[in-house]
Each structure stands twice: as structure tokens, then as C-alpha cells.
Structure 1
Amino acid sequence: MQPIIGDIHLFGFNFGQEGWALCQGQLMAIQDNTALYSLIGTQYGGDGRSSFGIPDLRGRVPLGTGNPPGGSQWPMGRDAGAETCVIQESQMPTHSHPANFSSQSSLFGTTEPADLTTPETGAVLANVVAGGTGADKPEKIYTVTTANPVTLGGLDVTGEVQVGNAGNSSLFSLLQPCLAVSYAIATEGVYPNRS
């Protein structure tokens, strides 16, 4: 049975045969393939004067033409898609990341008399001891004590929590399970009737 010119078939071998051309996007001479050119034109490439292209189905899945309900328009010759993708932030669903803020500030005090005018490591608020008169003799309000200091209430600690980004923007595969075979288009055969 002769194929119809322009038929695309799958083959289990990787070479072209007489009357067929592998669908690898190559340009064909119009003068040698006038019948096929009259059917597919330049929708797959070529200049339309001396050459025209045939479909490139290497690593591609054929898709029916038209406009399915709720879908996109798919004219003859349109290609789309990619084998891999990186998800952009704008493509992610709305979500949140938990963030905890722990106060590192505590305020301690004691009833012991103060002996420091400025705090040191381990110093706590203490009973004020007058420093005398004049600006060079400030009051003492801190002490380093061995007595058990008490935690003072009413301390408000404010701060800012910044949540860092996660992930590394790696490509991930979009491929469905597949098996590579050869596609070929008939360049010779029966010329189809337009009905």
C-alpha cells in the first residue's frame, strides 16, 4: 500500500528509506519535492523560493492542531515546551515559612547597693548609691553581685525577623516517560484529495 504524500510514520530503524525523509527539521529543495511542498509549504521553515522545511520531531511529541476547549490555539507547525525548567518565585503558590523570634535580652535586678556607674559583664541593676555632687560624680546604679538577682518584668524586646530564601534554582525534568524512535514523512506516494 502506497503512503499518502505528507504522511508521518514511526519507524523502528534510524535511517531514511526511498520515498521517505526522516523528520529532523532539514530543508528540502522545492524543485525535487514539489508535491510535498504544495501540501506543507514553509510552515516548518525554508524560504519558499528554493527550499522548504519538514517537521523536526527529534525529542518532540506530536500534538493535534486546533483550539481545544479551555486550551490554547495550536496552528500547524507551532512548537513549544522544554525538557527542563526552573520554577520562578512568581510561579509558586502562596505559602508561608515559620519564623520564631527568641529574645536574648533579660533584665535582672537586686536589692544590693550599687557600686558601679557603668555596667560590666555580669552587672545587674541595684539600689542607687548617690555619687556626690557635680557632673563628674554620677550615681551608681549597677553592681556585680554574688547574691541571686531577680528577673524584672515589664521588659519589651522588639526586633526584626528575616526569613531567608530556600532552594538552589536547579533545573528539573519535565519529560514524560518516553522511548525514542524515528519519525519519517512520505515524500512520494498518493497525492491526497482535498475534501
Structure 2
Amino acid sequence: MDAFTGEIRLFPFNYAPQDWAYCDGSALSIQQFPALFSILGYTYGGTSGQTFKLPNFNGRAAMGASPQRSIGIPVGADQVTLTPANLTGHTHAVQVKDGTEASAALDVPNSTAYLAQPRNVRVYNNTAPLAGGPTLPTGTLTPAGQLSPGTSPQRSTLQPFLTLSYCICLNGEYPVKPS
């Protein structure tokens, strides 16, 4: 099957075939590739009257164009800085027992212990605690994650991937627009 000038294909090898070039944002001479320039124009950049650029798929995934996504406009990021606004509201459940199993009671909690209510003691109260009031013992709750003071964690947003080469046809059949 012959290729159309400007057609983009994925190749599973580490070179661009003859009459193809990597889609890596390279600048090409308008004078040397007038047919390809007539198709791409300055969609991916270039220097007016001298060069035009190929699409750059390095580290990018192809997406279909739509009214919300114009051709040639790269969007997205490899990493994002997480802030509280990125995290959805959530809660942390605490598992408790009713304290009726006296033989399983512990005086000192361990990694397998559950919070238990002693018999005939009301644990909850509708009155807010006063500042400086009772606190939980150290180690009851421990922080999770590793966030250094003054920094925000960077998280990769890359989906699982397999590296292939996007290449564009430099010289092929000219794609004629339908009338």
C-alpha cells in the first residue's frame, strides 16, 4: 500500500524508513518539501517563508481532533504538582469493637488491636473539646507519605506505554481533497 504525503504511521523499529521522517518536531525546508508544506503549513510551527515543523510525538499520545482540541495544539503534562485542590474529599475509617470481649482486652495497643469501648462508658459527646484538652497518645495515628516542608509531591501522569516510532511520509501520493 502506498502512503499519502503527510500520513503518520507507527513503526516498530528504530529508524525512519526511506521517504519518512520521525515525528519529532524537526524543522524542514519549505523549498525542499513543498508538497508536505502545502498539507501541514505552519500547523506545528516554523519560520515564515523558510521552514515548517513536523508534529512532535516525543512523549505524547495521539488524540482525535474535536471542537475542544484543535489540530497541532499540544496539551497535558508528564508530571503534575499535587495540591489539596487535586484531592477529592475523603474520610479515614476507624475500626472499633464494642468492648464486650473482656478476655481479648489489651492495656497497650499493638498493630493488630482494635479500638474498643469499655462497658457502660459513653465514648461520644456532642460538645466540642476545649483547646489544650486531652489528646491521643503519640503513635495512635501516624502520618503517611513523605512530604518535605515547603515542597509538593510530583506525580507521574503517564499511562502504561510501549515505545514505538511515529513517522510522517515526506514523499508519497498527494492526498486530493474531495470536491
Q: TM-score, normalised by structure 1?
A: 0.60
Per-residue CA deviation, residues 108-161 of structure 1 (Å, 9 max, x unaligned), is xxxxxxxxxxxxxxxxxxxxxxxxxxxxxxxxxxxxxxxxxxxxxxxxx83168
CA distance 1:160–1:84, shift in 2 (3 Å): farther
Counterpart of 1:40 in structure 2 is: 40
Q: Which runs of 4+ in 1 moved over 3 A?
A: 94-98
Counterpart of 1:126 in structure 2 is: none
Identity level (%): 35
Counterpart of 2:61 in structure 1 is: 61
Say whether 1:159 aligns with 2:131. Answer: yes
The Cα of 1:87 is off from its aligned counterpart by 1.5
Say whether 1:93 aligns with 2:76. Answer: no
Cα distance in structure 2, aligned partners of 1:7 and 1:158: 70
List aligned pairs for 1:52-131, cutoff 5 A.
52-67=52-67, 73-95=68-90
Larger Rg: 1
Q: In the alignment, which of 137, 158, 161 is matched to residue 175 of structure 1?
A: 158
The Cα of 1:86 is off from its aligned counterpart by 2.1
Cα distance in structure 1, aligned partners of 2:90 and 2:158: 27
Counterpart of 2:137 in structure 1 is: none
Q: What is the Cα-based RMSD across aligned positions, in Å?
A: 2.2
Q: TM-score, normalised by structure 2?
A: 0.65
Counterpart of 1:154 in structure 2 is: none
Cα distance in structure 2, aligned partners of 1:49 and 1:74: 27
The Cα of 1:18 is off from its aligned counterpart by 2.0
Higher relative contact order (CA 8 A, sep 6+): 2
Cα distance in structure 1, aligned partners of 2:84 and 2:130: 30
3-state secondary structure, aligned to 1:37: helix
Which amino acid is 1:5 matched to? T
